[in-house]
Amino acid sequence: MRFNSISRIAGIAALAGLVGLAGPAFAGEKADIVDTAVKAGSFKTLVAAVKAAGLVDTLKGKGPFTVFAPTDAAFAKLPKATVEGLLKPENKDKLIAVLTYHAVPGRVMAADAAKLANGTKVKTVNGKTIKVFNKHGIRINNAKVVKADIGCTNGVIHVIDKVLLPK
C-alpha cells in the first residue's frame, strides 16, 4: 500500500512537471530581469556585460527596474573594438556607465511612455538622461523599442535595436 501511494505521488509530480505546474522555470512563471534575459537567448552580449560589470546581483534584486535591453544584433552594430574594450577589466567603470544608462528606476510600461510628451527627458540609473520619443512607435534616443513590456518579477524589459551610449 505504501509503495502504491509513493508511486501515485511520483506520478502526480511528474505530470505536474510536464504540464508546467511545478518549479519556477516552467511556463507561466516570471523570472527576474537577468534570468529573463538569459532565457530569451538573444541577449548573450548584454548578459556577459552585466556579469563583467558586477551588476548581476543588482539586476536580480528587488527593483523595480525598467531595462532597455539591446539584443546581440544591436551590439553587433557597434565596432568590435568598442564591445571588446568595454568588457576589459580596466574599463569596468565605463561598462557600468553604459549599462546603467540602459535602466531607469521603477516599472515603466510602454503605455506609460506613450503618455509622455514626445522627447521627454528621463533620468537613468547612471544619472544621465535619455529622451523618450513616442510618435510612430517608442524610441529611446535613437533606438527603436522592437518589443515592449516583457514583465519580470523585479521590473520590465523593453527590447531595443541599438546600444545606448551616454555622452
The verdict on 113 and 46 lying in the same domain is yes
pTM (whole model) above 0.85: no
The verdict on 125 and 153 lying in the same domain is yes
Strands, DSSP E only, in 38-153? 65-70, 103-105, 120-123, 129-133, 139-140, 143-152
| Residue 165 placed within a domain | no
The verdict on 56 and 68 lying in the same domain is yes
Return the C-alpha torsion angle 90, 94, 95, 97, nearest 10. 150
The verdict on 1 and 43 lying in the same domain is no
Beta-carbon contacts of residue 144 (< 8 Å; ≥ 6 apart): 137, 138, 160, 161, 162
The verdict on 130 and 89 lying in the same domain is yes
Q: Residue 109 phi/psi, 5° resolution? A: -90, 165
- Residue 158 pLDDT: 97
- Residue 167 pLDDT: 86
The verdict on 86 and 110 lying in the same domain is yes
- For 109, the 3-state DSSP assignment is coil
- Domain residue limits at 18: 1-29
Q: What share of the chain is helix, strand, coil (3-state, %, to 5)?
A: 40, 20, 35
| Residue 167 placed within a domain | no
The verdict on 2 and 81 lying in the same domain is no
Contact 61, 154 (CB under 8 A): yes
What is the domain count for the chain?
Answer: 2
The verdict on 21 and 72 lying in the same domain is no
Angstrom distance (rounded) from CA 145 to CA 159: 6
Q: Residue 161 phi/psi, 5° resolution? A: -95, 0
Amino acid at 42: S
Q: Mean pLDDT per 10-residue run, the chain (167 residues)?
A: 33 30 44 96 96 95 96 95 93 96 96 95 96 94 97 97 95
